Amino acid sequence: MTRRDRSSAAPPWPVALPAALSLLFLGLPLLALLIKAPWGRLWSILTSPTSLQALRLSLETASAATVLAFIVGVPLAWVLARAEFPGRRLARALVTVPLVLPPVVGGIALLLAFGRRGIVGQYLDSCCGITLPFTTAGVVVAEAFVAMPFLVITVEGALRGLDTRFEDAAATLGASRLGVFRRVTLPLILPSLAAGGVLTFARALGEFGATITFAGNLPGVTQTLPLAVYVGLEGDPSEAVALSLVLLAVSVIVLVALRDKWLRAGAAS
């Protein structure tokens, strides 16, 4: 009771002032975006062929990157959470690197690895004629590189926090390993899978640095929404603002969606 009283008391001004300032600092730029938005021309800008093309490409590549992340990221999360092998800590650290690495650096690293002259890319090129830079597939690779860690870390955390007694009980009752995973583990980590998926998708959708460095910028092929925003700033700044609103809206939707997932995830654990 007393604890609650203390925590709900009005904060002293040395705390309240910087707190208010930081809120303002975070909120004002977004507010400016809304104020300066070309509301009158908004619809015509957003429905212009260039915008729709960029939007479609963004949704397609971010979805593809998310699917890719699920296919290879969830098994990785399982291995990191459950398997015992030398270098596991190193592997986990490796997964978090793209999270903190400046995306441009990620783009350069991708070029050096998977570019036409890259250490792996040169063989892809010579054996199968596959070159990733300047292609839509390259955009997906760049987005997956930057965004997949969100899924891996979220799901790994969920698996590690899971009470293994449920799985053990299912196994002793005769369920196969696959059966246990499908009927017990999967439903338990479902909220985290969803949260991780949404985060991954959102991060992929907003990816800029790695994409422009690795995949380049060509409308309809590699020019995703963030690239269109950046390039738009050179020609028609109000177009860039309008496109920014779309990305802002997506971010807000993602956060609202996640809040819901977290509440459910919290209730489940």
Partner 1 sequence: MRRALPFVAALAALALTACGSSSGATTTPGTPASSGSSSAAGPITVFAASSLKESFTAIGAAFEAANPGTKVTFNFGASSTLATQITQKAPADVFASASQKTMDTVTTAGAAASSTVFAVNTMEIATPASPAVPVASLADLARPGVKVVICQKDVPCGAAAQKLFTQNNLTVTPVSEEVDVKAVLSKVVLGEADAGIVYVTDVKAAGAKVVGVVIPKDQNVTTKYPIAPITASTNAITAKAFVDYVLSPVGQQVLAAAGFTSP
Per-residue contact flags (x/-) with partner 1 for residues 173 to 192, judged by CB under 8 A: -------------------x
Residues near 117 by beta carbon (within 8 Å), at least 6 away in sequence: none
The residue range among 47-55, 87-95, 173-181, 224-232 that interacts with partner 1, by the rule CB under 8 A, is 224-232
Handedness of CA 111, 64, 161, 179 (dihedral sign): negative
Contact at 8 Å (CB) between 248 and 31?
no
How many positions of this chain bind partner 1 (CB under 8 A)?
Answer: 50
**Per CB under 8 A, does 70 bind partner 1?**
no
In the complex, minimum distance from the CB of residue 85 to partner 1, in angstroms, rounded to a whole number: 21
For partner 1, the closer of residues 160 and 182 by Cβ is 160
**Per CB under 8 A, does 145 bind partner 1?**
no
For partner 1, the closer of residues 123 and 262 by Cβ is 262
Indicate the DSSP class of residue 12: P
CA 69, CA 144: separation in Å to the nearest integer? 6
SS3 letters for 195-264?
A: HHHHHHHHHHHCCCHHHHHHCCCCCCCCCCHHHHHHHHHHHCHHHHHHHHHHHHHHHHHHHHHHHHHHHH
Which one among 54, 65, 144, 199 touches partner 1, defined by CB under 8 A? 199
Which one among 65, 136, 140, 156 touches partner 1, defined by CB under 8 A? 156
CA 62, CA 240: separation in Å to the nearest integer? 20
User: What is residue 225's three-state secondary structure?
Assistant: helix
The residue range among 2-10, 51-59, 170-178, 213-221 that interacts with partner 1, by the rule CB under 8 A, is 213-221
Kindly list the residues in this chain that would bind partner 1 in the complex (CB under 8 A). 99, 111, 115-117, 133-134, 150, 153-154, 156-158, 160-162, 192, 195-196, 199, 202-203, 206, 208-209, 212, 215-219, 221-222, 226, 229-231, 233-235, 237, 247, 251, 254-255, 258, 262, 265-266, 269
